[in-house]
Amino acid sequence: MTLVYERRGSAAQQLADILGPATRVVGSLDELSALLAGNPEELLVVLGAGTDLADAVRFAVAHRITHPALGVVLLREEVDATVLAEALRAGIREVVASAEMLTVRAACERSLALSRLLAKPTWASVPEPEATAPEGGEAKIVTVFAPKGGCGKTTLATNLAVALSAGGAHRVCLVDLDLAFGDVAIMLQLPPDRNIGEAVSIVDRLDETAVRSMLTRYRPGVDTLLAPPTPADGEKVTRGVVTEVLRIARSMFDYIVIDTAPAFNEQVLAALDASHKYVLLAAPDIPTLKNLRVALDTFDLLGFPADRRLVVLNRADAKVGLTAADIARILRTPIAANIPSSRDVPVSINRGVPIVADQPNHPVAKAVRDFAQVSLLREPATAARTPGRRLFGPRKQK
Ligand SMILES: Nc1ncnc2c1ncn2[C@@H]1O[C@H](COP(=O)(O)OP(=O)(O)O)[C@@H](O)[C@H]1O
Ligand SMILES: [Mg+2]
């Protein structure tokens, strides 16, 4: 059931119409809190544009602890950066213009999907990795993630892999975990014949030889583990398969760079579980920043430590009316690196050669190399994720 608080009758009716029959409109925030206390499994609250911002913030702050899986979507007549920043700080998942009905519905669907994932009890039974440092000789795993497509994940992952190999001095494996729409093969012009899909049928007897047989060499020092050629094959690559492949690949490489789908799906979670660093991509536009802020909150909820996150701003110099201060305010996180925007990036992609390899002196190549050097190569390998107990512990009842 979706719970809606909207004081103005006509707006409430309109919301109930677009959100469907499983919607209940309530007349006060106290009533809403009482309902939630009695129904801890509820996953979505929509606060109408008539809600006072301070009340909405108080409500979200109160419920993010008692109902961590609950999503709060806030409607406003106008969405501006200040409201957005304040709302996201309070843990509100989405702020949407109330007049944009399709966007409202889409935001609610996104929030519900995330809540279902967060509430999924099966996660509680997945054994947590030991929070100890990997032994010497084991790869450092770096996952490149963004909650939105088109941010430059695959571009950064491919260039990072080349930068980390330092001309063949390090062994790097680039893993394509965007299993439905993997682009690594296309970006590097590699045949996808060998791919991670082969691990599915032999997951219980995977070893180095088997993993090696799935790799495609890109250049000395850079191997790739590509995505299966069809989304149907990609679906068969479960969390368990990803975990096992990474466990074995770890002893074969110095660095593993993982490109991901723009979603907290089970394969991405397996990658994040195994990772020493999460590179989170931002771009200087409000929807992307907002989604990244939500993703950072989700990282908190899932217990992925803040000190392993590196936020990289792509197309940092794009003239879009957002200042560095706006971006910092919305994200509440320092930016580890700024990558400029350049049309040479898509040109390099069309040629099938990452810009770091093609034009090493290009400002984009330099930015990626500096980031790799400062944030990844010099960092000692530390433990993977610490358990996110908060999410799965017994819920506090009011
Ligand atoms: N710094 C940049 N400057 C210009 N274009 C870029 C830059 N980074 C990425 N792009 C372009 O943006 C598009 C999306 O990048 P991609 O890496 O496929 O994103 P994602 O993997 O996040 O969906 C590509 O066409 C790429 O060429
Ligand atoms: Mg991609």
Q: Which residues contact 45 (CB under 8 A, 6 or more apart)?
A: 2, 3, 4, 5, 32, 36, 59, 63, 70, 71, 72, 73
CA–CA dist 179, 95 (Å, integer): 30
Q: Which of the listed residues 144, 155, 183, 369 should we mutate to test ligand 1's pocket, taking the one with most ligand atoms within 8 A of CB? A: 155
Q: Which ligand is nearest to the CA of 187?
A: 1
Domains, the chain, in order of start with CATH, read 2-119 (3.40.50.2300), 140-386 (3.40.50.300)
CA–CA–CA angle 266, 308, 366 (5° rounding): 105
| Atom number in ligand 1 closest to CA 156 | 17
3-class DSSP state of 143:
strand
Residue 178 CA to ligand 1 centre (angstroms): 15
**pLDDT number for residue 137:** 62
**What per-residue confidence (pLDDT) applies to 132?**
35
For a mutational test of ligand 1's pocket, the pick from 281, 345, 371, i.e. the residue with the most ligand atoms closer than 8 A to its C-beta, is: 345
pLDDT at 127: 36
Token pair for 308: 């392993």
Q: What is the pTM of this model?
A: 0.70
| Closest alpha carbon to 382 in 186, 75, 141, 43 | 141
pLDDT at residue number 125: 33
pLDDT (0 to 100) of residue 123: 36
How far does residue 150's CA lie from ligand 2's centre (Å)? 7
In the chain, the amino acid numbered 4 is V
As for ligand 1, residues whose beta carbon falls within 6 Å of it are 146, 149-155, 183, 314-315, 339, 341-342, 345-346, 349, 364
pLDDT of residue 39: 87
CA dihedral 250, 251, 252, 254 (to 10 degrees): 70
Which string of DSSP letters, residue by residue, matches 34-48? HHHHH-TT--EEEE-
In whole angstroms, give the CA distance from residue 182 to residue 175: 10
pLDDT at 176: 98
DSSP state of 377: I
Cβ–Cβ contacts within 10 Å for residue 61, how many?
A: 14
- Regions of the chain where pLDDT drops below 50: 121-136, 383, 386-398
